């Protein structure tokens, strides 16, 4: 059932309201309970507090009823006012603004401000924000040495995850997470330094000298300059690439409680500094089922190799032997991911400029085949944001294993906005889920060992 959100300009309360009760009867005790049904800002968003079920017991000394939800398929871990998704209708809004309008008209830093503050910046707010982010793009020189410690063939997501965590050691004051000023400077620093770290990872892998930020350029132009500048005194970015990357950064900026954002919220709930919490988000995004999918899409298309092989590949996926159509399917979207529509149109624009990408034909054929095949239709599998992005990144000559780094640069805006919203939510505390124990009952320890120090380890000890 899709959700409908009011289009009112009225500032949302951000609070949950009671909208009815759930009457439950425990057949074990014949006792009945009345559980509050809570509603957020949209009709479809209703929930019962899991803690309200703890009163349901068969005896006073019992722990009480928990809710069991592997992978949180139906669990709201928080209330949030940042991003609204209607998976049935393919709707995505940041603070109420449709993604289509933001992608077409806004800048990435304007969106980063919106995600965090809840309103679009005034000109003076925006000017100060751009100034602050621009003048924090440099990283400590030791970060260069740190990155040079990686092998030439290190995966850039592994490097980025480590480098973001390392920032925590350069800014120990970031631990003061309840100090709004410290929080603000940490957010500025991380947003500013993500492109620098990403570009440094790229340059290391390529065996090229690191290019320092050029503070006379915009956020996206500066990133491309740090990635691609060679001996020229000033880098002139291709305006089509600048526009495409700005739009892709906006599309990837936030997406409510996805795997990596949930990781940032959970790690951040221990009150660790934001650099360490965001490093956890980078690690989660690295996974092939999440942000790593854009890299896997290109590898999948490479393996297919030719449009004539598409039908055979689709049969392989349907054969259920584990092959997945990467870039398809989504936990929330059960219709076309609105971002994928925008990216597909962007791909057409970019390829007009740089020439048709031979693999785009395979991608289009894959999409056409899947959208008309009962296997995918019945499972509501549509292209997601990752299906076409890789083709654009490759047209910009980014290496395939760098695609998810580009996702991480953009998602830092959402991770930080969600992290701060979690800190300011009076209901939040350290995340510590329960479990349903299904292991052994108590049993006495009877070792099966005849010696604690097998001969090999004794020999090792002697050397
Ligand atoms: C992102 O959460 C977010 O918001 C993420 C993201 C963001 O902005 O943060 O949107 C970014 O991560 C997009 C998703 C990128 N991942 C991929 O493209 C990888 C391929 N897609 C999937 O693995 C899968 O669709 C997920 C992980 C995205 C969603 O998985 P779910 O919701 O857990 O669904 P599921 O694995 O339970 O699948 C349901 C059924 C299964 O079939 P049956 O067991 O019922 O027979 O659909 C099948 C799956 O086998 N299925 C697929 C498929 N995805 C699901 N079959 C073939 N190809 C696929 N891509």
- Lowest mean pLDDT, pick from 30-44, 88-102, 131-145, 303-317: 30-44
pLDDT on residue 357: 74
330 Cβ below 6 A of ligand 1 = yes
- To which residue do tokens 């190799």 refer? 305
The pair of three-digit structure tokens given for residue 185, joined into one six-digit string: 């400077």
- To which residue do tokens 């509050």 refer? 36
Question: Catalytic positions, please?
Answer: 290, 330, 386
| Closest CA relative to residue 216, chosen from 129, 143, 130 | 130
CA 404 / ligand 1 centre spacing (Å): 17
CA 326 / ligand 1 centre spacing (Å): 8
pLDDT on residue 462: 60
23-38 mean pLDDT:
97
Which residue puts its alpha carbon closest to atom 2 of ligand 1?
Answer: 258
Q: DSSP string spanning 278-325?
A: HHHHHHHHTSTTTTTHHHHHHHHHHHH-SGGGHHHHHHHHHTTSS---
381 Cβ below 6 A of ligand 1 = yes
Structural class in CATH, domain 97-430? mainly alpha
255 Cβ below 6 A of ligand 1 = yes
pLDDT on residue 447: 94
The pair of three-digit structure tokens given for residue 308, joined into one six-digit string: 């004539």
326 Cβ below 6 A of ligand 1 = yes
290 Cβ below 6 A of ligand 1 = yes
Which residue puts its alpha carbon closest to atom 47 of ligand 1?
Answer: 379
414 Cβ below 6 A of ligand 1 = no
CA 330 / ligand 1 centre spacing (Å): 5
Distances (CA, A) of 100 to 7, 124, 136, 268, 413: 16, 25, 30, 30, 18
| Closest CA relative to residue 46, chosen from 59, 36, 56, 33 | 36
pLDDT on residue 320: 80
pLDDT on residue 458: 59
Helix, strand, coil % over all residues of the chain, rounded to 5: 50, 10, 40
pLDDT on residue 335: 87
Which residue puts its alpha carbon closest to atom 52 of ligand 1?
Answer: 324
CA 30 / ligand 1 centre spacing (Å): 41
Cα dihedral sign, 312-314-317-323: positive
The pair of three-digit structure tokens given for residue 142, joined into one six-digit string: 């030791």
**Taking 60 as the threshold, does the pLDDT of residue 6 lie above it?**
no
Question: What angle do the packed helices 386-395 and 239-251 form, to 10 degrees?
Answer: 160
CA 332 / ligand 1 centre spacing (Å): 9
Which residue puts its alpha carbon closest to atom 46 of ligand 1?
Answer: 320
pLDDT on residue 155: 97
385 Cβ below 6 A of ligand 1 = yes
- Lowest mean pLDDT, pick from 34-48, 187-201, 205-219: 34-48
CA 2 / ligand 1 centre spacing (Å): 19
390 Cβ below 6 A of ligand 1 = no
| Residue 352 pLDDT class (50, 70, 90 cuts) | confident
SS3 93: strand
Which residue puts its alpha carbon closest to atom 57 of ligand 1?
Answer: 324
297 Cβ below 6 A of ligand 1 = no
Quote the CA–CA distance of 433 and 103 in Å, as a whole number.
37
CA 311 / ligand 1 centre spacing (Å): 20
CA 161 / ligand 1 centre spacing (Å): 24
**Taking 80 as the threshold, does the pLDDT of residue 407 lie above it?**
yes
427-449 mean pLDDT:
96
> In which element (H, E) is residue 140 found?
none
Which residue puts its alpha carbon closest to atom 56 of ligand 1?
Answer: 324
CA 43 / ligand 1 centre spacing (Å): 26
Which residue puts its alpha carbon closest to atom 21 of ligand 1?
Answer: 329
317 Cβ below 6 A of ligand 1 = yes
Quote the CA–CA distance of 268 and 271 in Å, as a whole number.
5
Q: DSSP string spanning 404-428?
A: HHHHHHHHHHHHHHHHHHHHH-TT-
SS3 353: helix
The pLDDT tens digits for 250-283 are: 999 999 999 999 999 999 999 999 999 999 999 9
Q: Any idea where the domains of the chain sit in the sequence?
A: 97-430
Pocket test for ligand 1, best of 330, 335, 376 (most atoms within 8 A of CB): 330
**Taking 60 as the threshold, does the pLDDT of residue 304 lie above it?**
yes
Which residue puts its alpha carbon closest to atom 54 of ligand 1?
Answer: 329
Residue 226: count other Cβ atoms within 10 Å of its Cβ.
Answer: 24
Pocket test for ligand 1, best of 80, 286, 329 (most atoms within 8 A of CB): 329
């Amino acid at each position: 059932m899709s959700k409908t959100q009011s289009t009112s300009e009225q500032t949302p309360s951000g609070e949950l309201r009671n909208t009815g009760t759930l009457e439950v009867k425990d057949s074990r005790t014949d006792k009945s309970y009345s559980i509050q049904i809570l509603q957020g800002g949209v009709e479809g968003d209703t929930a019962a507090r899991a803690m309200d079920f703890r009163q349901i017991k068969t005896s006073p000394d019992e722990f009480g009823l928990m809710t069991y939800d592997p992978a949180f398929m139906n669990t709201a871990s928080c209330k949030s006012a940042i991003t609204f998704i209607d998976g049935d209708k393919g709707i995505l809004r940041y603070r109420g603004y449709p993604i289509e309008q933001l992608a077409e008209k806004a800048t990435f830093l304007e969106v980063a401000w919106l995600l965090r503050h809840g309103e679009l910046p005034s000109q003076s707010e925006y000017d100060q924000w751009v100034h602050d982010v621009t003048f924090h793009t440099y990283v400590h020189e030791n970060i260069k040495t740190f990155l040079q410690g990686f092998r030439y063939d290190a995966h850039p997501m592994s490097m980025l995850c480590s480098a973001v965590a390392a920032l925590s050691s350069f800014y120990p004051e970031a631990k003061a997470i309840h100090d709004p000023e410290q929080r603000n400077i940490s957010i500025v620093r991380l947003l500013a330094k993500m492109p620098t770290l990403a570009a440094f990872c790229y340059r290391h892998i390529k065996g090229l000298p690191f290019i320092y930020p050029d503070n006379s350029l915009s956020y996206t132009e500066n990133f491309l300059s740090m990635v691609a500048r060679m001996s020229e005194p000033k880098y002139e970015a291709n305006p089509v690439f600048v526009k495409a990357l700005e739009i892709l950064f906006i599309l990837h900026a936030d997406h409510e409680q996805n795997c990596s954002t949930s990781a940032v919220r959970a790690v951040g709930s221990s009150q660790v500094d934001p650099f360490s919490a965001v490093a956890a988000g980078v690690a989660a995004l690295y996974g092939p089922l999440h942000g790593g999918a854009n890299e896997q899409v290109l590898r999948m298309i490479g393996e297919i190799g030719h449009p004539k092989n598409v039908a055979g590949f689709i049969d392989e996926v349907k054969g259920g032997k584990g092959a997945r159509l990467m870039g398809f399917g989504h936990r929330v979207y059960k219709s076309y991911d609105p971002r994928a529509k925008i990216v597909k149109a962007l791909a057409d624009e970019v390829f007009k400029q740089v020439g048709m990408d031979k693999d785009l034909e395979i991608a289009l054929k894959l999409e056409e085949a899947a959208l008309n095949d009962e296997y995918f239709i019945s499972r509501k599998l549509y292209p997601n944001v990752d299906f076409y992005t890789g083709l654009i990144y490759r047209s910009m000559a980014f290496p395939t294993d760098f695609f998810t780094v580009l996702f991480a640069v953009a998602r830092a805006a959402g991770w930080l906005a969600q992290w701060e919203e979690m800190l300011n939510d009076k209901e939040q505390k350290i995340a510590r889920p329960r479990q349903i124990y299904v292991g052994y009952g108590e049993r006495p320890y009877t070792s099966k060992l005849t010696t604690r120090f097998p001969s090999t380890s004794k020999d090792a000890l002697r050397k």
